[in-house]
Amino acid sequence: MLVSERIKAVKPSPTLAINAKAVSMRESGVDVISFGVGEPDFDTPKHICQEAVRAMEGGFTRYTAVGGMPEIKDAIIKKLRRDNNLSYEREEVMVSCGGKHVLYNLAQATLNPGDEVIIPAPYWVSYPPIVVLAGASPVIAETRQSQDFKLSPDALEACITPRTKLLILNSPSNPTGSVYTRSELEALAEVVERHDISVVSDEIYEKLIFGCKPFHSIAQVSEGLKSKTFVVNGLSKTYAMTGWRIGYVGGAREVIAGMTKIQSQSTSNPNSIAQRAGIAALNGPQDSVLEMVQAFEQRCKYLVKRLNAIPGVDCNMPGGAFYAFADFNHYFKADRQDGKIVEGSSNLCEYLLTEARVALVPGSAFGAEDFIRFSCATNLETIEEGLNRIEVALGKLV
C-alpha cells in the first residue's frame, strides 16, 4: 500500500462528510435542510471584494513574503493592539492559508513524538488530528454542560504530566458557543504559569459574541501569559471570508520563525489577492460584523428556545459563535420502528437525515457522544421548518 501509517491514523473531517451527504441528497432531488454548515451564510462585504479586484487588476498576482506581506502583518499588529491590547512585532506574527493552516503549522513547529496536548471536550473536530499528524498525543479534558462546557482549573491540573506541551483553548467555542470570562481565564492562567506549558488560544469567533459582551484572551491576563500564548485568529468567520483562506497568529518569535520555515517548504505565501483583501477587512469599516452577529444571536435564541421545547432535549444558550449544542441522549435506545434502535448521536443524526431530511452533526465528532450540533448560519424560516421536521421525526420514536 502506498498510503502512510500516519495518514491511516487520521479520519477525514466528519463535519465536511455530513455536508457532502446532504449535498448529494439535494442533487438527487431531496429537499434537505442543513444545520451542518460551519460557515457564515453572509457574503463577504463589498469593500473587501473591491480591494481584491483592485489587487488583481493592478497586477498584484505574484509571490509575496512567505509569512505574509509586511502590510498585512502591520494590519494584524494594529488589530491585536487596538482590539486586544496586545503588542507584537513583525517577527512575532505570520499569515497562513486559514486558521486551520495556522494550527497545523503551529503543531508541526512545536511538537515532538511523545508530547501531549490538552484538548478540552467538546472540541473542534480538527484539533486531535492536527496533533496526531505532528506525532504527538491528544489528552482530552472532559467538561460538563452544567459548567457551560468550560475547563476548570482542577480538570486542567489533572491532565498535566511532564510530557504536556500545549493546552488548546477555544473561546467562543465551536461547537458549544461557550465564552470564557476574564476571571475564568485568570484561574486557568494560574495553573499554566505553575507548569512549563504553552497555550494555543483559538480566537476565530472573537467578534461573534452575543449581548455586546467583551471578549477576553488568555494572552491578556499577564505579560507572562502573553509570552506563553499563541493567539490564533483569522478572517473566515468575522468577515464571512471562509473561501479566501487567511488566518494569522501572534506569538514567540522562534516558533513563528519555525512555522515560516515549514510554510516556505510547503504552501509558500497565502494567496496574494486574499492578503490584499485581508488588509481591507482588518483596516476598513466593521459595521458588517455587527449586523452578522445580531442575526446570529436572534437565530440562536430562537433555535435554543425551540430545542428546549422538545421533550427530553437540553440546550444551553450559547454566548457566541453560531452553533447550539444540545443533549439528545433521552432518545438513545429508542425504537426507530424500521427494525433499528437509536444507538447514539451518529445513528440519531442518520435517522433524522433520512426520516426528517435534516442534516446535523453528531456530538461524537466533537468528543461529546450525547449531543448534536446545530448551526444557525441559515435563515430563520429554514431553522423553523427544520425544527418542525425534527419534532415530527422524534415523535415517531418509541
Ligand X SMILES: *Cc1c(COP(=O)(O)O)cnc(C)c1O
Q: How far is the CB of 371 from ligand X (least distance, A)?
A: 16
Which grid coordinates are listed for 64? 509575496
| Residue 353 near residue 32, CB atoms below 8 Å | yes
Torsion 46-50-51-55 (CA) sign = positive
| Residue 122 near residue 14, CB atoms below 8 Å | no
Which grid coordinates are listed for 10? 487520521
Pick 110 or 329: Cβ nearer ligand X: 110
Which residue sits closest to ligand X, CB atoms considered? Answer: 98
Which grid coordinates are listed for 54? 483592485
Q: Which residue has the cell 431530511?
A: 357
Pick 202 or 206: Cβ nearer ligand X: 202
Interatomic CA distance for residues 78 and 93, integer angstroms:
11
Contacts of 28 (CB under 8 A, 6+ apart): none
Q: How far is the CB of 243 from ligand X (least distance, A)?
A: 9
Pick 77 or 241: Cβ nearer ligand X: 241
Q: How far is the CB of 224 from ligand X (least distance, A)?
A: 25
Q: How far is the CB of 296 from ligand X (least distance, A)?
A: 13
Pick 177 or 355: Cβ nearer ligand X: 177
Torsion 205-209-214-218 (CA) sign = negative
End-to-end CA distance of the chain: 46
Pick 239 or 351: Cβ nearer ligand X: 239
Interatomic CA distance for residues 213 and 130, integer angstroms:
31
Give the number of C-alpha atoms closer than 13 A to the C-alpha of residue 356, restricted to the C-beta side.
25
Using CB under 6 A, list all residues that contact ligand X.
Answer: 38, 98-100, 124, 170, 174, 202, 204, 234, 236-237, 242, 247
Pick 250 or 329: Cβ nearer ligand X: 250
Q: How far is the CB of 66 from ligand X (least distance, A)?
A: 18
> Is residue 44 classed as helix, strand or coil in its secondary structure?
coil
Q: How far is the CB of 225 from ligand X (least distance, A)?
A: 20
